Amino acid sequence: MGLVTPVKPLPLDEVLLGDCIEALGALPPSSVDLVFADPPYNLQLGAGSLLRPDQSAVDAVDDEWDQFASFEAYDAFTRAWLQACRRVMKPNATLWVIGSYHNIFRVGSALQDLGFWILNDIVWRKANPMPNFRGKRFTNAHETLIWASRSAQKGYTFHYEALKGGNDDLQMRSDWFLPLCTGEERLKGADGRKVHPTQKPEALLARTILSASNPGDVVLDPFFGTGTTGAVAKRLGRRFIGIEREAAYAEAARARIAAVEPLSTAALLAAPTKRAEPRVPFLSLLEAGLIAAGTTLTDERRRHKALVRPDGTVGVGPACGSIHKIGALVQGLPACNGWTFWHVERAGRLVPIDDLRARIRAGMGSAA
Ligand SMILES: C[S@@+](CC[C@H](N)C(=O)[O-])C[C@H]1O[C@@H](n2cnc3c(N)ncnc32)[C@H](O)[C@@H]1O
């Protein structure tokens, strides 16, 4: 009788410390639903080489992990990690990769050479880009994300309707206007300095994960850094596998993710397609007695507040409008899904107003 090789369980919701090509080789094939990769940029910056006009050093990406001897070395590395990811992707899985002009074209051609099928490229237009300190070229105000399926085979996940619903019923476009990761979201060390030079904003990860995966899916990030992918995946009810070769980053990621509360199942319900779910206006929540006029709504992090008015609009200072319009206004965004953005306090906990809408919908179901 031949020996049976035991199948190792997937290291779900773990941060694996080490080189991603090696770690990926130890994972079972066809096991992940989505990959998000933020690989080294190969910026070719020497330590302290970027200065402001006052000669102070810019906190740029001059770390050892971003150094490659040549384009050939970078290309070989790119092909190796892409191939390793492709092996662990399920046949209908897709992959996001983000980069700048320094690397994204090289990554794009490697993707095509290896059999991936490019579905979209997304321009992440930065609301607050770093200025061009040397003043000799255009300011780099965007990064590019490539979204690719494992092969030309169809059957990948894409939540077209949900994205459209969150975008005021307009098709979600391939240019995303989002700020850099700053403020409370940015991890800082005891010395007040950034823990990582290229921590990505959670909003960016949320769009990539929401658009191309389902609750319960496994999201893999081979260049985990501070674990933005894991934090967002956990919040959105997905499982994650992170790989990071620097122990300090891996540790910061674990602590960050441990503090994340997953959203409620109701908030994560597959977003309603227009035809599938009955429309419930916000006013219905007032009429059903689930929210009283005069209640204060707040976002998940309690950064913004809005007052519920008796006609089902909400107000912030002199501005008033729908939950979506005011949600977008306070964030400075073109659109917002007010149902998931706004929360109410119930027994000391914040509950998304979408949970209250789900109760009305459940009542509609039982009445039908
Ligand atoms: C661009 S950063 C990713 C930042 C991350 N998206 C975040 O939001 O914090 C790339 C990360 O990949 C790690 N890295 C570079 N080469 C690696 C390798 N061969 N295996 C695993 N991790 C690697 C670096 O240490 C760095 O933290």
Tell me, in angstroms, the distance from the centre of ligand 1 to residue 151's CA. 25
For residue 117, give the DSSP letter: E
Whether the CB of 299 sits within 6 Å of ligand 1: no
User: 299-330: per-residue pLDDT in tens?
Assistant: 999 999 999 999 999 999 999 999 999 999 99
- Sign of the torsion formed by the C-alpha atoms of 335, 337, 341 and 346: positive
| Ligand 1 in reach of 103 Cβ (< 6 A) | no
Give all strands (DSSP E) within the chain, no chain letters. 14-17, 32-37, 89-99, 117-126, 142-149, 175-178, 218-221, 239-244, 296-298, 305-308, 314-316, 319-321, 343-346, 349-352
Number of helices and strands (H, E) in the chain? 12, 14
**pLDDT by residue, tens only, the chain of 368 residues:** 455 655 578 999 999 999 999 999 999 999 999 999 999 999 876 656 666 667 776 666 678 888 899 999 999 999 999 999 999 999 999 999 999 999 999 999 999 999 999 999 999 999 999 888 888 899 999 999 999 999 998 899 999 989 998 898 899 999 999 999 999 999 999 999 999 999 999 999 999 999 999 999 999 999 999 999 999 999 999 999 999 999 999 999 999 999 999 999 988 887 655 556 788 999 999 999 999 999 999 999 999 999 999 999 999 999 999 999 999 999 999 999 999 999 999 999 999 999 999 999 888 865 44
Ligand 1 midpoint to CA 103 (Å): 14
Would you say the CB of residue 352 lies under 6 angstroms from ligand 1? Answer: no
Minimal-distance CA residue to ligand 1 atom 7: 199
CA-closest residue to ligand 1 atom 14? 223
Closest protein CA for atom 12 of ligand 1: 223
CA of 234 to the centre of ligand 1 (A): 19
Q: How far apart are CA 77 and CA 196, in angstroms?
A: 22
Distance, in Å, from the CA atom of 171 to the CA atom of 282, rounded to the nearest integer, reads 23
Residue 134 zone, left/alpha/beta (φ > 0; ψ -120 to 50; rest): alpha
